[in-house]
Structures are given as structure tokens and as C-alpha cells.
Amino acid sequence: MTPLELAGELVRIDSVTTHPNEAITEALSSYLHRLRFDVRRFTYQDLQGVRKYGLEARRDPPGLAGTQGGVGYFCHSDVVPVDQWSCPHGGPFDAAVAEGRLWGRGACDMKGSIAAALAALHRIDVAEQHESVYFFVTGDEECGMAGAEWLVSQSEWFRDLVARRGVGIIGEPTLLQVVNAHKGGCRLDVVASGVAAHSSTRDGRNANWRLIPFLQELADVHRSSETDPAWQNPAFDPPTITLNPVLINVPAAPNITVETAICRLFFRPMPNTQVGLQEVKDRLLAAARRHGLQVAGLRELPPLFTSDDSASVRRLLQLLQQEQPLAVSYATDGCFLADLSERIVLGPGSIEQAHRPDEWIAVAELERGASVLERVFRAFICDDAA
């Protein structure tokens, strides 16, 4: 089966991240079994309470594998919602092929990459392996990454890859360029409480009046992050944490005083900055405490960074004839895989094609992805790097 045919089959399976994902998990399990992987399915709840399924798979070489090395491919089976889908070539799960592209939700992020990886592994005979290859699939990367947390805490095969000091390839779309750094994320809710009542009376107390002083301090934090080089990393575009506040009032009717005012914050910490994730978080929490506000919903996604000088980065740069590794501003499951010292993001397609109302990936990119990933896998599990 070609990468295009396989990607089309995967796109046709509805695996929107808000839904259960058993069907896509069963399909991927079947493909991996055909490639002579040992496969284990795991279950967990995502952060929205939806039951999700994931896979961990392993294919060993004949005889005993070495105690060092090997490669793991990391991917997610879920896709973003399709509420705004608008494509002239068909619906989000039709997997239409037109204009030299495969159109459909997940075609780029990241079922195209999964198909390319499976096709690449199909081209490598088990007899050629000298090290083990691992394949990890999570089901909620688009809504919280609880599956990646499960892998870190529960997966025996992930721990084995870590112990062997193997390489992790996170197959998100990078146009098949080596990415060794990406931003993380941090979300928290700062909450002020008041009393709801008819706004024409003296009985209410609008919670916004308690929140406003905090917002003034938040503006100072934002100015620092946008102007002070200590907060920034020029390897990224933009080079800032892009602090994003969202204000929520409950109730929101203008004739009722606001009982609860929430400032929902999200920012993207970067590696190699003088002001890091902990310092930004501490400053925000201290400001909230000064004004007697509650803080809830804290969620941290640490940034990813593998040294430019690491052996795997240097090897892949040489293999793909790339001068230097890149940094990207989005986050991946790699946020939680820090126990794996060698983490590289590499996959077909462009992030600019992902999450669109007409998501697509070029057919030629799928085939190129299979060829490149075959070379990458061979570099770490076979004697040759052809």
C-alpha cells in the first residue's frame, strides 16, 4: 500500500479529539501487527474525561538487540474539530485527492506522517535491523496530552527506549526538516469572586473590580515579555512567550452584577531564556495573591530542546543535508518526553496546512516523507544510513 493510500484510509476514520478513538486505534494496531510489531493497547482518560486509547509497539531485530540505541516514532491519532470545515473537494473525512493534494482533516496533522512512517517501516526488513524500533501513538495531543503523560509514567517500552538512550522522532509536520526546539505552554485561571444581584440594587458586588488591579500588573508582565531580551529567544518566531489573556464573566448579562470574573492566561515558554517558565509563573501567582485572587487550572507543558551538538541532531543534519536545526513555536507530545534525552521533531507537511478548514498535504510530500523516514529509521536501527 502506498503512503497516499494508507493516509487516505486513516483520514476516512473520524478521530476528532473530543470523541472516543477506538476505531483509529484498532486500524493502527492492525497495520503495526502486519509489520511484525508486538503491540500493546492502553486506555486512559483525557483532560475532558473522554476515554481514550493509545498504542505502544516494538519490533526487535533477530537475536539480541544491543543495549544502546534504537529509535522511537511518536505520533497522535486525534485530529482537531471539523465545525468550520470548508473545502471544495469534499467533506473532512472523504480523503479526496485533487490538485496533487490529499484533502481531509488530519491529512497533514498528522495522519500523513503516520502513513509515511508505516510505509517507511514496511520497506525495512526485520532481518536488516540491528536495534529495536518503537512506535508510540497517543489519542489526545490536541486536547491536553494526557496520553504522553501516561507513556512517561506507565509504558515499559518507553522506559526501555530511555534506558537504551535511543532517539525519539516526533512526527509532526516540519516539511521534513530537523527541528530540535519548540515552545511549551502554561495555562492558569485567575479568579475573582463577587455577588450576583440585579444591577439596579445595592445588593450585588461586581467581581471585575477585584480583578482589574491584577490586570494592570499583568500588562506590566506583558510589556516585559515583549521588550526585555532576558525573556526572549531569537531562534523562535515570534521570539516571545505570546502571553494571551481571555476574560470571562459569569453571569455575563449587563443587568446582573458579575459573580465570577476569570482571567484565563496562556503563554508559551521557550528553552534557553534568562526568564524561564518557573519565574514567569511565580510572578503571575504572586500578583494574584497580592490582590486576594484564586488561581486554578494550572497546566504546564515544558518546552523541548535537544542540543545542536547532540549526536542524533548532527547525524540527521548530515543525513538530510541541512545546515542547522530549526526552532518552532508550536508544542507537541514531546513536552512530556524529557526523560528521552534525544528528541527531534521531523515529519512531512507544513504546520501552515494543519488545523485549516481545508487541511491538505501534497501527494509528493507523502512519498518524500516515506523515503526520508526510511533513511532516518535505517540510520538508527540498521548498519547503513542509506
Q: From 259, 266, 156, 274, select the one nearest 222 (Cα to Cα).
A: 266
Three-class secondary structure of residue 79 per DSSP: strand
Across the chain, mean pLDDT equals 96
What is the separation of C-alpha 195 from the centre of its chain, rounded to a whole number of angstroms?
40
According to DSSP, the residues that pair with 256 across neighbouring strands are: 198
C-alpha cell at position 135:
512506535
C-alpha cell at position 27:
486500524
Decide if 187 contacts 298 (C-beta within 8 A).
yes
Decide if 114 contacts 18 (C-beta within 8 A).
no
Q: Note the pLDDT of residue 386.
A: 41
Q: Note the pLDDT of residue 63.
A: 78
Separation between Cα atoms, residue 263 and residue 188, nearest integer Å: 8
Separation between Cα atoms, residue 345 and residue 316, nearest integer Å: 11
CB neighbour list of residue 212: distance below 8 Å, 6 or more residues apart: none
Neighbouring CB atoms inside 10 A of 12's CB total 15
Q: Note the pLDDT of residue 297.
A: 84
Decide if 213 contacts 263 (C-beta within 8 A).
no
Separation between Cα atoms, residue 39 and residue 10, nearest integer Å: 18
Sign of the alpha-carbon dihedral angle for 307, 171, 186, 52: negative
Q: Note the pLDDT of residue 274.
A: 97
Q: Note the pLDDT of residue 64.
A: 66
Concatenating the DSSP letter of every residue in 154-222 gives H-HHHHHHHHTT-EEEE---STT--EEEE--EEEEEEEEE-B--BTTSSS-B-THHHHHHHHHHHHHHH
| Span 162-169, average pLDDT | 96
Measured at the CA of 180, the angle between CA 302 and CA 177, to 5 degrees, comes to: 135
Cα 201 to Cα 49, 195, 197, 207, 211, distances in angstroms: 40, 12, 7, 15, 21
CB neighbour list of residue 171: distance below 8 Å, 6 or more residues apart: 73, 74, 75, 110, 113, 114, 116, 117, 345, 346, 347, 373
Separation between Cα atoms, residue 229 and residue 255, nearest integer Å: 45
C-alpha gyration radius of the chain: 23
Q: Note the pLDDT of residue 293.
A: 98
Q: What are 258-313's pLDDT values in tens digits?
A: 999 999 999 999 999 999 999 999 999 999 999 999 999 888 999 999 999 999 99
Separation between Cα atoms, residue 291 and residue 289, nearest integer Å: 5
Decide if 57 contacts 32 (C-beta within 8 A).
yes
pLDDT band at 385 (very low <50, low <70, confident <90, very high): very low
Cis amide leading into 110 (omega within 30): yes
Q: Note the pLDDT of residue 192.
A: 98
Q: What are 93-140's pLDDT values in tens digits?
A: 999 999 999 999 999 999 999 999 999 999 999 999 999 999 999 999
Neighbouring CB atoms inside 10 A of 35's CB total 17
Three-class secondary structure of residue 55 per DSSP: strand
Domains and CATH numbers, the chain: 3-182+303-381 (3.40.630.10), 185-301 (3.30.70.360)
Residue at 181: amino acid letter: A
Q: What are 136-157's pLDDT values in tens digits?
A: 999 999 999 999 999 999 999 9
